Amino acid sequence: MGNQGHSNPDSRRYVELIQAGVLGDVKEVHIWTDRPVWPQGIDRPSDSPPVPKNINWDLWLGPAPERPYHSAYHPFKWRGFWDFGTGAVGDMGCHNSDMAFWALNLRDPGTLEAVSSGINNETAPNWSIITSHFPQQSKRKPVKVVWYDGGKKPDPALAKQKDLPGNGSILIGTKDTLYIPMYWGKGTFLSGATEADHKNVPETIEKPTDFNQNHYDEWIAACKGGKPAWSNFDYAGPMTEAMLLGLVALRSGKKIEWDAKKMRVKNAPEANRFIHSEYRKGWVL
């Protein structure tokens, strides 16, 4: 996955420390983003301007249902429309959530529920808060993960702050809490501890100096038959599934119970219509 933060050296070190138990049992995670930075909570445009000469509109639509061209979608603002994108969750969900998902091996949530500014059949809401509950897995205790977008944020007191930046995450453990004030990278242990205090924890993950370049290098090496990239599909697929399931709860307007083996919502069958898309004729796999 093109998730550059997965190659950030600070994030990789935090993964090692968290898995070594420096936070204790992490039972609660809060993750937020400043997205969307495009219109959402709006209806479909009613006018039909001419298609610019440099655009093959049918090709751009791809498998999405046919609709007239409009600058409301192309070239940038398509993310807010359900036919083309998945809103703030699809844009920044895997970036901002990556370290927590990696460190805690979060996959296959049991239940998910959401609140928002309002459900719209055309576009994602102006803001949403999605709560996912991950059951115990091996020695890792159950974890509650709360996602915020559209300007919503957790209580700053959870990070001992008066205010929070536009993006970040807070991992709350029984021994310590880690606050990351960005998508990835350097954070703060609320106990006052530093990485140097945990220098005896072994390093098991490579730490590149140029993490953007390293991320591409890992992918190229894997393509050439080398070892798998750290952010390969075995990891990125389940993380994406868990994030997008929050949108199933959001769009269905219900708390959903997920059966990961059968890829079905157990308690609200009507929500399963959001699991798969119907491809336009000519674009069937």
Please write the tens of the pLDDT for every residue from 20-60: 999 999 999 999 999 999 999 999 999 999 999 999 999 99
Name which of 77-81, 87-91, 190-194, 280-284 the model is least confident about: 280-284
How large is the average pLDDT for residues 76-84?
A: 97
How large is the average pLDDT for residues 7-18?
A: 98
CATH code of the domain in which 184 resides: 3.30.360.10
Q: Is 262 helix (H, G, I), strand (E, B) or coil?
A: coil
All residues at 6 or more sequence positions from 69 whose CB lies less than 8 Å from its CB, including other chains: 48, 49, 50, 51, 52, 55, 57
pLDDT band at 277 (very low <50, low <70, confident <90, very high): confident
Domain assignment present for 106? yes
Q: Is the pTM of this model over 0.85?
A: yes
Mean pLDDT estimate for the chain: 96
Domain assignment present for 217? yes
Q: What percent of the chain has pLDDT over 70?
A: 100
Domain assignment present for 110? yes
Domain assignment present for 195? yes
Q: How far is CA 58 from CA 64, 98, 117, in A?
A: 10, 34, 32
pLDDT of residue 176: 98
- Among 75, 98, 94, which Cα is nearest to 86's? 94
How many domains, the chain? 1
- pLDDT greater than 90 at residue 227: yes
First to last CA, the chain: 21
- pLDDT greater than 80 at residue 104: yes
pLDDT of residue 38: 97
Helix axes 9-19, 87-104, angle to 10 degrees: 50
pLDDT band at 78 (very low <50, low <70, confident <90, very high): very high
Angle value at C-alpha 143, between 8 and 136, nearest 5 degrees? 110
Cβ proximity of 249 and 114 under 8 Å: yes
Tokens at residue 116, please?
């928002």
- pLDDT greater than 80 at residue 224: yes
Domain assignment present for 58? no
Cβ proximity of 238 and 107 under 8 Å: yes
- pLDDT greater than 90 at residue 242: yes
Q: What percent of the chain has pLDDT over 90?
A: 97
pLDDT of residue 285: 76
**pLDDT digits 0-9 by tens, 153-174:** 999 999 999 999 999 999 999 9
pLDDT of residue 284: 83
Residue 146 Rama label (left phi>0; alpha psi -120 to 50; beta) = beta
Tell me which residue range forms the domain holding 172: 4-44+71-274
Domain assignment present for 167? yes
How large is the average pLDDT for residues 148-152?
A: 98
pLDDT of residue 175: 98
How large is the average pLDDT for residues 168-195?
A: 97
